[in-house]
Amino acid sequence: MKFFADTAEIADIAELAATGLLDGVTTNPSLIAKSGRDFMEVTREICALVDGPVSAEVVALDHPTMMKEADILRKIADNVCIKVPLTIDGLKTCKALTGEGTMVNVTLCFSANQALLAAKAGATFVSPFVGRHDDNGFDGMELIRDIRLIYDNYSFATEILVASIRHPVHVLESARIGADVATMPPAVIRSLVKHVLTDKGIEGFLADWAKTGQTILK
């Protein structure tokens, strides 16, 4: 499974990229607003930090304007992935852009039927929002299972990019189902390494080592 950071905070992205575990980044208008910085500048910096796809979202709602915005965004760097909403105009834009060789992330997916449409439009990624799905009384993981089944039935190349991840269990379940990508806040990525027994083991090893009075660095 690929790990994407869902953030526009440069410091967090740089720290995670240094681990070698980061495969890409997703942003959206809300994350850019939270950063308080210029959209184009932030996107350019992120693209320089990671080799993988960096999702940059259009804000227009009609196809012609989406295409104009996408044309500007994809000139930022070769690894820009244009993010479009799951609407008729968004799917039309997706079809046009992927036909030109541009990566496209179709976002705000909340049903398997929507995911089917995204795949038929040639999306590089589809982003089902599991956390928001759960918030509204539905089972986010069941949505991922349905999409995985449908994509496998027809050998669609579109990758399932699980979004709106709230906690490590979402990551675990997505991996068990066979989702291709999990995009999550940096705090969730960091939490994946934590386990009380790991911490306890390190504490015990260090205590025993201290008793030897030795040092590795001379």
Which of 68, 83, 194, 218 is flagged as catalytic? 83
SS3 assignment, position 48 = helix
Helix (H) or strand (E) holding 104: strand 104-109
DSSP label at residue 163: B
Rounded to whole angstroms, the Cα distance separating 111 from 130 reads: 10
Rounded to whole angstroms, the Cα distance separating 43 from 47 reads: 6
- Cα atoms in the 13 Å half-sphere on the side-chain side of 158: 32
Told to judge if 83 belongs to the known catalytic residues of this protein, a careful annotator would answer yes
Which tokens in the block code for residue 20?
């070698």
Q: Are 49 and 20 in contact (CB under 8 A)?
A: no
Phi, psi torsion values for 124, nearest 5 degrees: -70, -45
Rounded to whole angstroms, the Cα distance separating 43 from 48 reads: 9
Phi, psi torsion values for 209, nearest 5 degrees: -65, -40
Residues carrying an active site annotation: 83
